[in-house]
Amino acid sequence: MAKAKTVYVCSECGGISPKWQGQCPHCTSWNSLSETVQAPPAANGGNHRFQALAASSGEVQVLAEVQAEEAPRDPSGSDELDRVLGGGLVRGAVILIGGDPGIGKSTLLLQTLASVGARRKVLYVTGEESAQQVALRASRLAVDAGRVRLLAEIRLEQVLAVLQSERPDVVVIDSIQTVYTDVLSSAPGSVGQVRECAAQLTRVAKQTGVTMILVGHVTKEGALAGPRVLEHIVDTVLYFEGDSHSSFRMIRAIKNRFGAVNELGVFAMTDRGLKGISNPSAIFLSSHRDEVPGSSVLVTMEGTRPLLVEIQALVDEAHGQPRRLSVGLEQNRLAMLLAVLHRHAGVACFDQDVFINAVGGVRIGEPAADLAVLLAIVSSLRNRPLPDKLVVFGEVGLAGEVRPVAHGQERLKEAAKLGFCRAIVPQANAPRQGIDGLELIPVERLEQAVDYCRS
């Protein structure tokens, strides 16, 4: 086969250069050129990369006449993984799983393949570890390795040939950064290689209906390497989060063409691999024997499930420029909340360092955390614990008002179920009928909540 021609494409402006250069000659941005296979001329209908994306090509149809079938799904063997996938593995779907090294990607996928292998033909392509290492892991996990077919290979052309001959239903490529194609001269793991290999594998998935799971490393900046371009090619992007020091691992869908994106799967890493936690609501609470200052309990919603998460704050006299640091919560929002706290509740922190942390490494994006964050800060500043068995949620606006949040009822029910007996909630979230065993403290303004905790 004649060697395909490659060119260098700028990731900023899309300009094409025949040779690699440090600076794009078209838009003058630096280090933006990456090697790409030049699209063959119109003979096969244009850019093959776009063909890879279209499930089928053909004539124009009326939308109402298109047969809309629910994509068939295979259970992955783990309810938590199915939850993030939106109900199981979809045939022909390409799934990218990203996460820090050592967080459990290979473990999870080996467990998944062993389980799916009982019903379907599965193939594990390992480029990172040798076949022996994978076998060792399989025996450690005590999974049924008899059904998992293994290929230790990093040449894309070879992988594609095996896919052609083996015809598996589910394939794991561990990892996409180790696979390379001979067509490009750049090193495995480079942007061009990752993009080209992912595009080729995607095309195979769409053509043959195989479910393709790509493992992706995460760069230091936290982006899936082989930049965002991969996220556009694949159907689903799952991302491991969580503290690698704790035994809990969370998987979040960042993009999902076949389901909701806000579901969170929760797992515990055990000596027998990852085990799903079907009722995770209490795992993010740290167990203090006595109430401590600077701690509040938030009820947050992760997809359809309420989770109780402890929010910790430490407020300490600043020496020099006061610092604001937040782990698991939004940093910019913290600065805004501190301004609201000063302006509307008269609590000043401008000469204090403020650190906040969501326990357990869970990432909380919803503004319903505002009130819990502020009460933890006030509690730390005054060095007084908040009332016993208290949960808090509510969004705080710039005018100091406490705004209602979605799913108030579910949050309160979960708190009552876990033995909490007080809840500070936005006025509009207070249910007309009370909840057994839960005293409600509805508030309309931030001052009211701060005053309640003072009394």
Binding site for ATP, by residue number, is: 99-106
Who's near 392: CB < 8 A, 6+ residues apart? Answer: 296, 297, 298, 299, 371, 372, 375, 423, 424, 425, 449
Query: Quick one: what does residue 49 bind among Mg ion, ligand TYD, none, with the CB cut-off 5 to 8 Å set by partner type?
Result: none
Distance from CA of residue 60 to its chain's centroid?
36
Burial 191-206 (b: 16+ CB within 10 A, else e): bbbbbbbbbbbbbbbb
Q: How many residues bind Mg ion (CB under 5 A)?
A: 1
In the complex, the smallest distance separating the C-beta of residue 128 from ligand TYD, rounded to whole angstroms, is 7
Phi and psi torsions of 254, nearest 5°: -90, -30
Pick the stretch among 83-91, 94-102, 159-167, 309-317 that binds ligand TYD (CB under 6 A): 94-102
Q: Is 107 in the site for Mg ion (CB under 5 A)?
A: no
Interface region with Mg ion, contact rule CB under 5 A, candidates 68-76, 102-110, 186-194, 346-354: 102-110
Taking the least distance from each CB to ligand TYD, the nearer of 246 and 262 is 246
Q: How far is the CB of 446 from ligand TYD (least distance, A)?
A: 42
Radius of gyration over every alpha carbon of the chain, rounded to an integer in angstroms: 26
Task: Measure the CA–CA gap between 341 and 447, rounded to whole angstroms.
Answer: 8
Residue 305 makes contact with ligand TYD by CB under 6 A: no
- Which residue, 106 or 281, is less far from Mg ion as judged by CB? 106
Q: How far apart are the first and last CA of the chain?
A: 81
- Report, in Å, the least distance between residue 437 CB and ligand TYD: 38
DSSP notation for 287-341: --SS--TTEEEEEEEETTEEEEEEEEEEEEE-SSS--EEEESS-HHHHHHHHHHH
Q: Which of 34, 106, 193, 429 binds ligand TYD (CB under 6 A)?
A: 106
Rounded to the nearest whole angstrom, what is the least distance from the CB of residue 179 to Mg ion in the complex? 14
Taking the complex as a whole, the smallest distance from the CB of residue 314 to ligand TYD amounts, in Å, to: 30
> What token pair was written down for 19?
């040779």
Binding mask 51-90 for Mg ion (x = CB under 5 A): ----------------------------------------
User: How many whole angstroms separate alpha carbon 318 and alpha carbon 63?
Assistant: 62
Does 104 engage in binding with ligand TYD (CB under 6 A)?
yes
Residue whose CB is less far from ligand TYD, 271 or 290: 271
**Distance between CA atoms of residues 406 and 399, nearest Å:** 20
Number of amino acids touching ligand TYD (CB under 6 A) = 15
DSSP state of 15: -
106 binds Mg ion (CB under 5 A): yes
The pair of structure tokens assigned to 451 is 């005053």
435 Cβ neighbours under 8 A, 6+ residues apart: 412, 413, 416
Query: Which is nearer to ligand TYD, 36 or 107 (by Cβ)?
Result: 107
CB 252 to Mg ion: min, Å? 19
Q: Rule CB under 6 A: choose which of 5, 272, 288, 454 binds ligand TYD.
A: 272
**Rounded CA separation 67/356 (Å):** 51
Taking 3-state DSSP, the helix, strand and coil percentages for the chain, each rounded to the nearest 5, stand at 30, 30, 40
Q: Are 394 and 443 in contact (CB under 8 A)?
A: yes
Q: Is the peptide bond before 29 cis (omega within 30 degrees of 0)?
A: no
* Nearest CB to Mg ion, comparing residues 148 and 307: 148
Give the residue with the Cβ less far from ligand TYD, 71 or 152.
Answer: 152
273 binds, among ligand TYD, Mg ion, none (CB under 5 to 8 A by kind): ligand TYD
User: Which residue, judged by CB position, is nearest to Mg ion in the bound state?
Assistant: 106
CB of 97 to ligand TYD, least distance (A): 9
Site string for ligand TYD, 343-382 (x = CB under 6 A): ----------------------------------------
Q: Are the CB atoms for 300 and 368 separated by under 8 Å?
A: yes
The smaller minimum CB distance to ligand TYD, of residues 46 and 101, is found at: 101
Contact partner at residue 343 from Mg ion, ligand TYD, none, CB < 5 to 8 Å by partner kind: none
Handedness of CA 299, 251, 360, 247 (dihedral sign): positive
- Part of the chain binding ligand TYD (CB under 6 A), chosen from 136-144, 329-337, 359-367, 379-387: 136-144
Among 269, 364, 375, 449, binds ligand TYD (CB under 6 A): 269
Match 């691999």 to its residue by tokens. Answer: 273
Binding site for Mg ion (CB under 5 A): 106
Binding site for ligand TYD (CB under 6 A): 99, 101-107, 137, 140-141, 269, 271-273
